[in-house]
Amino acid sequence: MTLKNKKIMLLITLVLIIVIACLYQYNQNRFEVKNKEIIKVGIIFNEAGLGDKSFNDLCYDGILKAQEKLGIEFDYCQSKTEGDYETLGRKYAKTKKYNLIISVGGEQEKAVIKISKEFPNQKFTLIDSNIELPNVSSICTSWSEQTFLNGVIAGLSITNNSKQENKPMAGVILGKDLEHLRQGAIGFEAGVRYINPNIKTVVAVVDDFSNPAKAKEIALLMYKKGAQYIQQLAGESGFGVFAAAKEADKYAFGVDGNQNFFDPDYIVSTATRYANEIIYKEIEGIKNSTWSPGVHKLGLKENVIGYEVEGSNVKIDSNIIETVEQIKTSVINKEIVIPSTYEGLDTWITKNKYKS
């Protein structure tokens, strides 16, 4: 081989080495960027857990949507007892691999407060709470607004029904005695008594989100005592309320995801809360670097909560729906401000009465 040819071959070899090195570095960079773009989320469900056909299932739908549309990865776990919240949260935080840890339910507030202080660089989202911490996004939906319109429907229906007894009554059944669920009970009662202050509203607690049999017993007793409508805020236990409504030939209201389809002849409406969209937007905020800590209050105005009659076979007079929509607009415009404590409820009732 001539000297000239040797120089050409050497030059070609050098060019090939440079090209291969550049391609290798490009692929390495692309791999590193790709890895950096993958968001990893850990989610801790409350004791009711997956399969509650309500709050937890909606949250799971939200994270599945984030997986599909945002390309995230996620792990989830479910507590068996209230004591598990802290253990599970700390287990996730210790790994330092999650961009966001989501705790489902205000029951986890104490655990999140403690763990978030131990891991100040870890981002947390807590649903149904209003704590102010530098690394926690605390989602606080207005439970009193969420159930108020179902209360209005019950109040109007009872009042318009001339066959009702002299002492009309409605009820609310909670899964557990938690602050946000109490606010839901207050909202429902405020809606009922806004229409008719003479309608008595009774409240009972199952003390278990996963005991439909016990909830059914409580609901049947309420119906026997004169309740015509019961708003359930009890997770999976709420299906016992639906069963009782059917047995007693009375009516019930669902909560969170549209539950009208489960027993359309006896479920009048659902006090909806789109927890799936809340979860999705929290993860989207991480993806877009717009996630922020602090208390985030959401209500009818933000279209996160509302009421839904679709899927129900229970006949509701069109005039009732028209009235409910007018009242809904008044709530959004702050012309009606619903109380969130029992202390203020009676005073509110005396000052606020629907004028037909």
Q: Does residue 137 share a domain with residue 99? A: yes
In single-letter form, the type of residue at position 53 comes to K
What was the pLDDT predicted at 28? Answer: 54
The rounded percent of the chain whose pLDDT value lies above 70 is 88
Distance CA 103, CA 56 (A): 11
What was the pLDDT predicted at 117? Answer: 97
Q: What is the mean pLDDT of the chain?
A: 90
- Decide which of 141, 158, 190 is a domain's last residue: 141
Report the run of H or E that residue 269 belongs to, with start and end.
Answer: strand 267-273
DSSP string, 11-26: HHHHHHHHHHHHHHHH
* Domain presence at residue 304: no
* Domain presence at residue 285: no
Q: Does residue 103 share a domain with residue 187? A: no
Q: How far is CA 16 from the centre of its chain?
A: 58
DSSP string, 74-133: EEEEE-SSTTHHHHHHHHHHHH---SEEEE-SGGGHHHHHHHHHH-TTS-EEEES----B
Count structural domains, the chain.
2
* Domain presence at residue 90: yes
What was the pLDDT predicted at 160? Answer: 86
Q: Does residue 157 share a domain with residue 227? A: yes
Residue 113 has pLDDT above 70, yes or no: yes
Q: Residue 144: which of 108, 113, 175, 172 has the closest Cα?
A: 172
Q: How far is CA 138 from the centre of its chain?
A: 12
CATH number where 203 lies: 3.40.50.2300
Residue 30 has pLDDT above 70, yes or no: no
Q: Does residue 157 share a domain with residue 113? A: no
What was the pLDDT predicted at 32? Answer: 40
Which whole number is the average pLDDT over 40-69?
Answer: 92
Label residue 241 by pLDDT band (50, 70, 90).
very high
Q: Does residue 148 share a domain with residue 136? A: no
The rounded percent of the chain whose pLDDT value lies above 90 is 76
- Decide which of 86, 118, 141 is a domain's last residue: 141
Label residue 192 by pLDDT band (50, 70, 90).
very high
Residue 182 has pLDDT above 90, yes or no: yes
Q: Does residue 321 share a domain with residue 236? A: yes
* Domain presence at residue 46: yes
Buried b (16+ CB within 10 A) or exposed e, 280-300: bbbbbbbbeeebebeebebbb
* Domain presence at residue 29: no
pTM: 0.82
Neighbours of 71 (CB within 10 A): 12
- The partner residues of 171 in beta bridges, in order of sequence, read 202, 230
Q: Does residue 258 share a domain with residue 207? A: yes
Q: Does residue 207 share a domain with residue 152? A: yes
Residue 81 has pLDDT above 90, yes or no: no
Q: Does residue 260 share a domain with residue 159? A: yes
Label residue 99 by pLDDT band (50, 70, 90).
very high
* Domain presence at residue 20: no
Q: Does residue 105 share a domain with residue 57? A: yes
* Domain presence at residue 156: yes
Q: Tell me the residue range of the domain where 64 lies.
A: 38-141
Label residue 275 by pLDDT band (50, 70, 90).
very high
Q: Does residue 212 share a domain with residue 116? A: no
Span 279-321, pLDDT tens digits:
999 999 999 999 999 999 999 999 999 999 999 999 999 999 9
* Domain presence at residue 67: yes
Q: Does residue 147 share a domain with residue 130? A: no
Sorted by sequence, the CB contacts under 8 Å of residue 119 that are 6+ apart come out as 93, 94, 135
Span 135-171, pLDDT tens digits:
999 999 999 999 999 999 999 999 988 555 568 899 9
What was the pLDDT predicted at 33? Answer: 37
Distance CA 314, CA 161 (A): 14
The encoded tokens of residue 274 equal: 């789109």
Distance CA 307, CA 256 (A): 9
Which whole number is the average pLDDT over 28-34?
Answer: 45
DSSP string, 190-251: HHHHHH-TTSEEEEEE-S-TT-HHHHHHHHHHHHHHTEEEEEEE-GGGHHHHHHHHHHHT-E
Distance CA 287, CA 121 (A): 17
Which whole number is the average pLDDT over 226-253?
Answer: 96
- Decide which of 119, 141, 163 is a domain's last residue: 141
